[in-house]
Structure 1
Amino acid sequence: MTFQRAKRMAAAAGVVVAAGALPILVASPASATQGACTNYVASHGYFAGPKVKEACSHGAIKTPFGSWPNPACTLGLAQLNIKNAVSDPACSRA
């Protein structure tokens, strides 16, 4: 095997490894928290459709004192007639 051929094979293997690792490295961490918000809303008897998912896509505001509900999330849920007693804790999970 020549050096050029070995070099090409190594480069091809590197591309395959990078292509396999890329989705893991850039996966959105928000998807799990959006699910927690949506599940919380659904567990309180509301239909958790696409509009609830969109509202829950606005992540909570993280501070050293805890998570605060994102105003965009609570406003989005309020427009869907979801009570503040449900939307605030749900948006804190987003």
Structure 2
Amino acid sequence: MTVQWAKRMAAAAGVAVVAGTLPILVASPASATQSACTSYVANHGYFAGPKVKAACDYAALDTGLFKMANPACLLQLAKVGVKSEVSDPACKRA
């Protein structure tokens, strides 16, 4: 087993765990908004166009103890080149 293969398997397992736990999490009405997410991204030097706005449409998940960035928001922001240091806090504001 190569290191690359092991990394791929670990990533796949992580995605499966997140996908399996999402239905369990209860999303409450968000106190933050799409515009808070979009503004956060824009304030960190990124163009907040339609793709960023669409990503910020995915509301943060409220676990009851803390807010968790929606994986769909994170993925969409990553696709347009937003670094994780910016996308994670931005998606928690969505």
Which residue pairs with 2:12 in the alignment?
none
SS of the residue 1:46 aligns to? coil
Which residue pairs with 2:54 in the alignment?
54
- Tell me the CA shift for residue 81 of structure 1: 0.7
Which residue pairs with 1:35 in the alignment?
35
State yes or no: 1:65 paired with 2:50.
Answer: no
Query: Any gaps of 5 or more consecutive residues in structure 1?
Result: 1-28
SS of the residue 1:45 aligns to? coil
Q: Distance in 2 between matches of 1:65 and 1:46?
A: 30
What value does the CA root-mean-square deviation take over the aligned residues? 1.4
Q: Distance in 2 between matches of 1:65 and 1:34?
A: 21
Alignment of 1:1-94 (within 5 A): 33-94=33-94
Moved over 6 A (4+): none
- Tell me the CA shift for residue 64 of structure 1: 1.4
Instruction: Provide TM-score, normalisation by structure 2.
Output: 0.66
Q: Distance in 1 between matches of 2:43 and 2:53?
A: 14
Question: Greater CA radius of gyration, 1 or 2?
Answer: 1
Q: Distance in 2 between matches of 1:83 and 1:65?
A: 26
SS of the residue 1:75 aligns to? helix
Query: Any gaps of 5 or more consecutive residues in structure 2?
Result: 1-28
Instruction: Provide TM-score, normalisation by structure 1.
Output: 0.66
Q: What is the letter of the counterpart of residue 77 of structure 1? A: L
